[in-house]
A and B are shown apart, each in its own frame.
Chain A
Amino acid sequence: MVVRRLLIGVFVMWGAASVIFVIVRAAPGDPAAVFLGPDATKEQIARLTATLGLDKPLFEQYVRYLGDVLRLDFGESYRLGRPAMEAVFERLPATVDLTLTATAIAVVAGLALGLVAGSRPGGAVDRVVSAATIALQSFPTFWVGIMLVLTFALGLRLLPSAGVGTPAHLVLPAVTLAFPFTAIVARLTRSSVTESMREPYVQTARSKGLSERQVLLGHALRNSLIPVVTIVGLQMGALMGGAVIVENVFAWPGLGSLVVDAVANRDYAVVQAVTLLIAGIVMVLNIVADVLYIRLDPRIRTEARS
């Protein structure tokens, strides 16, 4: 099972590497020209292009790039003058902090909201939660971020508006990033719990004299979690993409600001390194989600074994 997923993962990584290779080169702008600035002569640009290996035919560049990637060599950042992956790994912890905090917020808040709403579908709490989650999902992240800064940093002066240093700095960007994710988890949990609460085994649980809370937490929740786990796994990947925008709003020194700089400066190696790293992380998360899914559902566990 896991072996097969890993094999598929290798193909996915190859695809991601190829797509990003084409996209960075298809985007207008010449790295050498951008780096040397408007005063550079044609000879200077040509020399730098040759040094970077960008004068070779595209196919030759591609084969060399894949070969390097296989040896875990992700190239030099011509702007930073050091290995691209080194720069990426330097920024990774900040992004991981941000996405993990956002995930924790989204899972806790989303599960709680979804459980309360789903245990009494059509009730007052359910209607408020449903309306709120639609709102949360529709607001663009950058707008939510700016609104939170206006309210909590500039208005109430409770939290820093940007930068890093203390845990307080983490609050606004993490909450901003968690907003749409919370909505997704809450809506999915709600529908999943509502569905589970209609199952005959819930009636059986009630017939044992359990309280509604015991029925909900002891019988409905476990089965409701199965789809939620999958979505959390998949969405964490998307969250790293969302982090790019949030990091720029809050001047958070993670992968997001690094990759925006790199794209602006046509720093191919860095863009490729970031992309491959995120693709790898998403792949691992998906496998983890699949394994958890199997752990949670004994019916699939049996199938997987046989």
Chain B
Amino acid sequence: MMGGRVTAQHPDKSGTADPPHDGPLLRVEGLVVDLPRPDGAAGDTVRVVDGVSFDVPAGTTVGLIGESGSGKTMTALSVIGLLPDHATTGGELVWRGKNLLRPDTDWRRVRGHQISMIFQDPLAALNPSITIGRQVGEILRRAGRPRAEVRHAVIDLLDRAGVPDPERRMNSYPHEFSGGLRQRAMIALALAGSPSLLLADEPTTALDVTVQARILRLLRSIQREQGLAMLLVTHDLRVVAHVADEVVVMYAGRVAERGPAGAVLRRPAHPYTRALAASVPAVRTKTALADPLPGSPATPANRPSGCAFHPRCPLARDRCKAEVPQAREVAPGRWSACHFAEEVFTP
């Protein structure tokens, strides 16, 4: 096998060599995403992502966690420039020192080659009428690599993603693969352009529980071996606990809390994180019954005033209804957007 060398020789790499920059690989700074209301009048928009900030340092895995409607997927899609039509953005996405949200961004050089994405449902995300091998190798073929070389690279990529007998299986179609194999093929596809950041949107949600753990382990090992950065979008706290170095907890389009994954899950600094952790059996509590989160999640379309979490929050008082809490550092590396973070967080 050709190992990691295959991806290192990518011709596009020379053209997009890292410009010297300080700071993290990706800095999300006050990101705002507005979507048109589905059945609203023209100009009527919903702010699905509202001032989100966090960093993704090179080689680390950041877990982006939240319930549906928290804006986590929209945040990830904006990083690769694949937001739905008519979406408008604000703030900054600083990628290697350059803001991706500027109109002159050449997304075609970024996508696949620098930032790539793994989608939730691998069956839907793979083209049903093209063989796995062609789909995985497409980005290399389009970059003008010779056929034999692309073939070797595809076999190597599938092999590293844990697809057995890749020389034969590369000629299969997606429907001939099992769910887990499809997601492995999808991972191989995402790695083909040797990106530095991998976005994974609920990569295990559509899979069987037994397969989920294997795919997570694979992502973790590939991320470590290749020094990739990964932004892992999930609603599943256990996934974050297994894989992430850092975690960003989102609620109704805003960041509730962020910090090192283990610390945040063990000792939350936001009542929402605490409730979320308590609702998952055996992550935080040893009790047999988990406490479900009271109420239903706020959505960006009908976001409560002040702190969006206040209708469900046991600590809520008048200030929470009136004033949107700003994220502040409650301990080194620990950021919480709660007026009363100190009442939750015990250093």
Residues of A at under 8 Å CB distance from B? 199-201, 203-211, 214, 218-219, 222-223, 226, 296-299, 302
User: B111 at the A/B interface (Cβ < 8 Å)?
Assistant: yes
Contact between chains at A206 and B173 (CB < 8 Å)? no
Chain B, residues 36-61, CB within 8 Å of chain A (1/0): the string is 00000000000000000000000000
In the bound complex, do residue A200 and residue B110 qualify as a contact, i.e. CB atoms below 8 Å apart?
A: no
A-B contact pairs, 18 of them (CB 8 A): A199-B124, A200-B125, A201-B124, A201-B126, A203-B82, A204-B125, A204-B127, A205-B138, A207-B190, A208-B111, A208-B112, A209-B109, A209-B112, A209-B193, A218-B138, A223-B127, A226-B129, A299-B173
Which residues does chain B contribute within 8 Å of A199, judged by CB atoms? Answer: 124
Contacting pair A209 B110 (CB below 8 A): yes
In the bound complex, CA of A299 to CA of B123 (Å): 12
Tell me the nearest residue of chain A to B192, going by C-beta: A208
Give the residues in chain A near B126, CB-CB below 8 Å.
201, 204
B residues within 8 A CB of A210?
108, 138, 142
Which residues on the B side are within 8 Å of A226 (C-beta)? 129
A296–B127 CA distance with the chains assembled, in angstroms: 12
Interface on B for A, CB 8 Å cutoff? 80, 82, 107-113, 116-117, 119, 121, 124-130, 135, 138-139, 142, 173, 175-176, 186, 189-190, 192-193
Flag if A207 contacts B80 (CB, 8 Å). yes
Bound-state Cα–Cα, A219 to B190, Å = 17
Shortest Cβ distance from A215 into chain B, in angstroms? Answer: 10
B residues in contact with A206, CB < 8 Å: 82, 111
Which residues of chain A come closer than 8 Å to B111, judged between CB atoms? 206-209
Once the chains bind, are A205 and B127 in contact (CB under 8 Å)? yes
Contact of B125 among A201, A223, A297, A302 (CB under 8 A): A201
User: Closest Cβ of chain A: how far from B112's Cβ, in Å?
Assistant: 4
Whether B128 pairs with A223 at a CB distance below 8 angstroms is yes
Contacts of B175 on A, CB cut-off 8 Å?
Answer: 298-299, 302
Compute how far the CA of A214 lies from the CA of B108 in the bound complex, rounded to whole angstroms: 11
Name the B residues within 8 Å of A214 (CB-CB). Answer: 142
6 closest A-B pairs by beta carbon, nearest first, are A209-B112, A209-B111, A200-B124, A208-B112, A298-B173, A201-B127
Closest Cβ–Cβ distance, residue B77 to chain A (whole Å): 9
User: Which residue of chain A lies nearest to B140 when distances are taken between CB atoms in the complex?
Assistant: A208
Inter-chain contact B139/A302, CB cutoff 8 Å: no
Beyond contacts A199-B124, A222-B127, A223-B128: 11 other A-B pairs, Cβ-Cβ < 8 A, are A200-B124, A201-B128, A203-B125, A204-B119, A205-B127, A207-B116, A209-B107, A209-B112, A222-B129, A223-B129, A297-B128
Minimum distance in angstroms from B230 CB to a CB of chain A: 15
CB pair A298 B189 closer than 8 Å: no
By CB atoms of chain B within 10 A, which of A207, A208, A214, A218 has the most?
A: A207
Given A200-B119, A298-B173, A208 and B127 contact (CB-CB distance below 8 Å): no
Question: Given A203-B82, A299-B175, A208–B125 Cβ distance below 8 Å?
Answer: no
Residue of A nearest to B106 (CB): A209
Q: A200-B125, A203-B82, A299-B175 are in contact. Are A208 and B130 (CB under 8 A)?
A: no
Residue ID in chain B nearest A226 by CB atoms: B129
B121 near A209 with CB under 8 A, answer no
> Known contacts A298-B175, A299-B175; is A203 also within 8 Å of B129 by CB?
no
| A207 and B109 contact, CB distance less than 8 A | no
Q: Residue on B with the closest CB to A303?
A: B175
Contact among A205, A207, A218, A298 for B128, CB-based, below 8 A: A298
Chain A residues contacting B109 (CB-CB under 8 Å) are 209
A207 / chain B contacts, CB cutoff of 8 Å: 80, 82, 111-112, 116-117, 190
Contacts of B135 in A (CB 8 A): 204
- Once the chains are docked, how many angstroms separate the CA of A122 from the CA of B76? 27
Give CA–CA (A110, B44) in the complex, Å.
37
> Complex Cα distance A302/B128, Å?
12
**Residues on the B chain within 8 Å of A203, using CB:** 82, 119, 125
A214–B111 Cα distance when bound, in Å, is 14
* A210 closest partner in B (C-beta): B142
Residues of chain A within 8 A of B138, CB atoms compared: 205, 208, 210, 218
| B127 in contact with A219 (CB, 8 Å) | yes
B119 in contact with A302 (CB, 8 Å): no
Q: Which residues of A contact B139 (CB under 8 A)?
A: 208-209
**CA separation between A56 and B126, bound complex, in Å?**
66
How far is A208 from B126 in the complex, measured between Cα atoms in Å? 12
- B6 → A minimal CB distance (Å): 17
Candidates B108, B142, B173, B189; contact of A204 at CB < 8 Å: B189
CA distance A204 to B132 in the complex (A): 13
Tell me if A208 and B193 are in contact (CB < 8 A): yes
Q: In the complex the two chains form, is A209's CB within 8 Å of B113's CB?
A: yes
Contacts of B192 in A (CB 8 A): 208
Complex CA distance for A205 and B136, rounded to whole angstroms: 10
Q: List the B residue with the shortest CB-CB distance to A200.
A: B124
Give chain A nearest CB distance to B135 CB in angstroms.
8
Question: What B residues does A209 contact at CB under 8 A?
Answer: 107-113, 139, 142, 193
Please name the residue on chain B nearest to A201 by beta carbon: B127
Shortest CB distance B33–A (Å): 16
Q: In the complex, which residue of chain A has the Cβ closest to the Cβ of B120?
A: A200
Most chain A CB inside 10 Å of its own CB: which residue of B121, B173, B192? B173
Cα–Cα distance between A205 and B124 once the two chains are bound (Å): 12
A302 to B129, CA, bound (A): 12
Expressed in whole angstroms, the Cα–Cα distance for A302 and B108 within the complex equals 35
Q: Are A297 and B129 in contact (CB under 8 A)?
A: yes
Chain B residues whose C-beta falls within 8 Å of the C-beta of A222 in the assembled complex: 127, 129-130
Q: Which residues of A contact B189 (CB under 8 A)?
A: 204, 208
Taking a contact as CB atoms under 8 Å apart, the answer to whether A298 and B129 are in contact is: yes
- Taken together as a complex, chains A and B put the C-alpha atoms of A218 and B138 apart, in Å, by 10
Query: A299 and B128: CB pair below 8 A?
Result: yes
Closest to A214 in B: B142
Contacts of A200 in B (CB 8 A): 119, 121, 124-125
